[in-house]
């Protein structure tokens, strides 16, 4: 039981390049989330999904797109990377959304955009 995994762990992009971050969970969770973590700001929600085939915007969605084609996978895409997207990205999943349903976090992806 691997929990939540993320691929890749590290990536360096040049401005304008595109990439996709992959999140996978093996806990049969309905809900999945993408956060970014910047120094001194805690984690901020980018996009989330309440089930296969559904996505919704979070607090900071601009410049990102997501897809949830399979229940176990949640992809985060950057179509044209900008230096402001340099951050650590965390994926999380939960059985449901809300108070009693704990989110489980992946190990993170450190992205640098030059």
Partner 1 sequence: ELKVEQNPLFLSMQEGKNYTIYCNYSTTSDRLYWYRQDPGKSLESLFVLLSNGAVKQEGRLMASLDTKARLSTLHITAAVHDLSATYFCAVVSDSGKLIFGQGTTLQVKP
CA angle 110, 91, 99 (to 5 degrees): 140
* Piece of the chain touching partner 1 by CB under 8 A; list 12-20, 44-52, 66-74, 78-86: 44-52
Q: Which is nearer to partner 1, 3 or 16 (CB)?
A: 3
Residues within window 66-95 making contact with partner 1, judged by CB under 8 A: 90
Whose tokens are 């969605």? That residue is 61
Contacts for 62 with CB less than 8 Å, ≥ 6 apart = none
In the complex, the smallest distance separating the C-beta of residue 40 from partner 1, rounded to whole angstroms, is 6
In the complex, the smallest distance separating the C-beta of residue 37 from partner 1, rounded to whole angstroms, is 9
Total residues belonging to the chain: 114
Q: Which is nearer to partner 1, 14 or 98 (CB)?
A: 98
Residue 85 CA: distances (Å) to CA of 43, 56, 66, 77 = 14, 19, 15, 11
**Residue 2 near partner 1 by CB under 8 A:** no
Closest CA to 66 of 1, 56, 11, 102: 56
In the complex, the smallest distance separating the C-beta of residue 60 from partner 1, rounded to whole angstroms, is 12
Residues that bind partner 1 (CB under 8 A): 40-45, 48, 58, 90, 97-100, 102-108
């Amino acid at each position: 039981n691997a929990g939540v995994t993320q691929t890749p762990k590290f990536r360096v992009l040049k401005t304008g390049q595109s990439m996709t971050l992959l999140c996978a969970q093996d806990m049969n969770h309905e809900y999945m989330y993408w956060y970014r973590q910047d120094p001194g700001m805690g984690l901020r929600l980018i996009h989330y999904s309440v089930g296969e085939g559904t996505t919704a915007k979070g607090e900071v969605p601009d410049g990102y797109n997501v897809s949830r084609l399979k229940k176990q996978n949640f992809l985060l895409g950057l179509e044209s990377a900008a230096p402001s997207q340099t951050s650590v990205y965390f994926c999380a999943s939960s059985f449901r959304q809300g108070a009693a349903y704990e989110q489980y976090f992946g190990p993170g992806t450190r992205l640098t955009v030059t």
